[in-house]
Amino acid sequence: MNMSDRNFVKFTFVKLDPAWRRRDSGDRMRDKVEFAAACTSFAEDHFFRTYSLVGTRGDCDLMVRTVASSLDPIHEFHVLLNQTGLMRWAEIPYSYLAMTKESLYSDEPLPLEPRPGSDARYLIVYPMWKKREWYLLSAEERTRIMRGHIEVGRRYTNIDINTAYSYGLDDQEFVVSFNADEPGEFLDLVQELRGTESSSYTESETPIFTCISASVERALGALDGEAVAIEPTLG
């Protein structure tokens, strides 16, 4: 298997200390500009997206999604990010590392980098674990079960799934993300999937994050309600 065809995917969720919003407006602006500069640098050569979680989660405010062919750029980006004034007032309550690889179960070619639909209005993300009993099944039985799961997903043509694998790299086994323009369609999809045979082999698939796609300017502006103009524009 050609490892050079794979990519590392990192989902970093950031929570701001409420005290940051009580800082002087100019100080907050400088913090946001520094954060955006680090994002701009990474985005020049790699896939990069920001998302706002203001109003969808109470335990994180924004998410940064980075993709690279090796871990080094992702590591260097987060080192740079930690030097910004904003991160002095922030914590990372959730962080997921994974890799892309071809699916064992789908007969469709799956991209090893983000789909064009990655710019949908919403990205819904969650870590997932399978029960150990799943891995005791034969490959043929797992394929049969997953085909039923996949057939349900195919009926929801406006939703694209991105599955990344974390075995041995992070605590979870998978990081699953869905591109969607209408959250209600995703709700219906998940409700239907609960009745599939594959669902009985799921150990956990929480927490679930409904992320609103936003440029870095908009995601940062949502933190305190003050617009920020940064060049070049990302997102």
> Could you give the CA distance from residue 92 to residue 183 in angstroms, rounded to a whole number?
25
- Looking at residue 102, what is its pLDDT? 83
234 pLDDT tier (thresholds 50, 70, 90): very low
> Could you give the CA distance from residue 198 to residue 145 in angstroms, rounded to a whole number?
6
- For 190: left if phi > 0, alpha if psi spans -120 to 50, otherwise beta; the answer is alpha
> Could you give the CA distance from residue 27 to residue 96 in angstroms, rounded to a whole number?
30
- Looking at residue 14, what is its pLDDT? 98
pLDDT tens digits, one per residue of 7-54 = 999 999 999 999 999 999 999 999 999 999 999 999 999 999 999 999
pLDDT tens digits, one per residue of 189-201 = 999 999 999 999 9
- Looking at residue 232, what is its pLDDT? 47
> Can you state the angle between helices 25-43 and 71-82, rounded to 10 degrees?
170
116 pLDDT tier (thresholds 50, 70, 90): low
Report, as an integer, the average pLDDT of 129-152.
95
Whether the model clears a pTM of 0.75, i.e. scores above it, the answer is yes
CA torsion 204-165-155-206 (nearest 10°) is 20
Average pLDDT, the chain: 91
pLDDT tens digits, one per residue of 92-106 = 999 999 999 887 776
